[in-house]
Amino acid sequence: MSDDQASAPEKGDRIAKVLARAGLCSRRDAERWIEDGRVWVDGKQLLTPAFVVTPGSIILVDGKPLKEPEPSKLWRYHKPAGLVTSHRDEKGRETLFDTLPPEMGRVISVGRLDLNSEGLLLLTNDGELARKLELPSTGWVRRYKVRVHGTVEPERFLALTDGVVIDGVRYGKIEVDFERQKGSNAWVTVALTEGKNREIRKVFEHLGYVVTRLLRLSYGPFQLGLLPRGAIEEVPRRVLRDQLGLGAAKDKGATAAARRTLALKDEPAAPKGKVRIPKPHRAVEPAPKRGRPPAPSSERSAERSIEARAAPGRTATKVLVTTKAASARAERAPSRSGDAPKKPGGPRNADRRR
């Protein structure tokens, strides 16, 4: 084995990604912190972000140890119009992150809504999860309710089902359902899977319509519902497991005890007291068919084949058993042969006629 192979680092993550996952900053800020000499790994000061750390690495930022990352979380947020979807705005405008509760810590958005757009916006503390949900490969449909100015001709939207190219940018399939025309404005519902920058506004402008209001109703399986404007609500962990496959045992940063606790919370509680075992159902004979009444059970079982259990190595035998009731019924039954004796006396009332 060569010296290079012996000194190769273990499989891990880049230091900037680890700092961002811990909720301290973004990856870009982490790279600046490293260049400023604020990050130490295993007693050595880092001067380049091109460094891979392992789970056993000791990381210090400004002399303080890096805290363990929290489990992945997701929130539904009803973004009002007039807020910027960014942590910092070069124009000094208020961002939606300025309005969030401080106890949430540092979170990022799944995609964006522009300044004048409103509706459902997903927030998470896991940058890796955010990038996964943003990819069009997930196939998640984003639905919007859009108000446009002008008289709408619904047949003009049919061309968007095959996609459209605007200023050299290819936009994928867009489905538009016309709802109603009210005066000089119209309402439509838009469904798409890409969600590029200002995609709906640019496509409608290409068709000659100006978007005056844009409200996102859903993002994949997550719905805006009745969430008030400006409100935020955490998505339950059970929903994350069902929709995203985020099992409690796979949550990053969760200790073994925490994982066991999460798993136990989802298991049904054991019943208290004695458990009563249900009795087996009693066999019920089927109802008799219409017509001739059924024979007594003793007669029905007049002849039956009984298979005797054979000892090991012997062949089972069948025995024909005839009961006394069957023998008596056979004696009473008239013979069907032609020489059977006839009853004496001839026809009824023959002597009375004589």
Q: How sure is the predictor about 332, in pLDDT bands with cuts at 50, 70 and 90? A: low
What is the pLDDT at residue 245? 72
pLDDT higher than threshold 70 for residue 305: no
How far apart are alpha carbons 99 and 88 in whole angstroms? 13
What is the pLDDT at residue 106? 84
How far apart are alpha carbons 68 and 55 in whole angstroms? 11
What is the pLDDT at residue 143? 97
pLDDT higher than threshold 90 for residue 87: no
What is the pLDDT at residue 291? 57
DSSP 216-285: EEEETTEE-TTPPTT-EEEPPHHHHHHHH---GGG-TT--HHHHHHHHHHHSPPPPPSPPPPPPPPPP-P
Q: What does the angle CA 144 – CA 146 – CA 150 come to, to the nearest 5 degrees?
A: 160
pLDDT higher than threshold 50 for residue 94: yes
114-135 mean pLDDT: 90
Phi, psi (deg, nearest 5) at residue 329 = -65, -35
208-224 mean pLDDT: 95
What is the pLDDT at residue 69? 73
What is the C-alpha R_g of the chain? 41
Averaged pLDDT of the chain: 75
Q: How sure is the predictor about 207, in pLDDT bands with cuts at 50, 70 and 90? A: very high
What is the pLDDT at residue 196? 87
The residue annotated as part of the active site, out of 29, 98, 114, 242, is: 114
What is the pLDDT at residue 179? 95
User: Known catalytic residue: 89?
Assistant: no
**Closest Cα to residue 237, out of 262, 254, 258?**
262
What is the pLDDT at residue 303? 45
How far apart are alpha carbons 118 and 114 in whole angstroms? 8
pLDDT higher than threshold 80 for residue 45: yes
The larger pLDDT score, comparing residue 345 to residue 142, is at 142
pLDDT higher than threshold 50 for residue 33: yes
Coil/strand/helix, residue 53: strand
Is the entire prediction scored with pTM above 0.85?
no
Tens digit of pLDDT for each residue in 241-294? 888 876 543 444 433 333 333 333 333 344 444 434 444 444 445 555 565 555
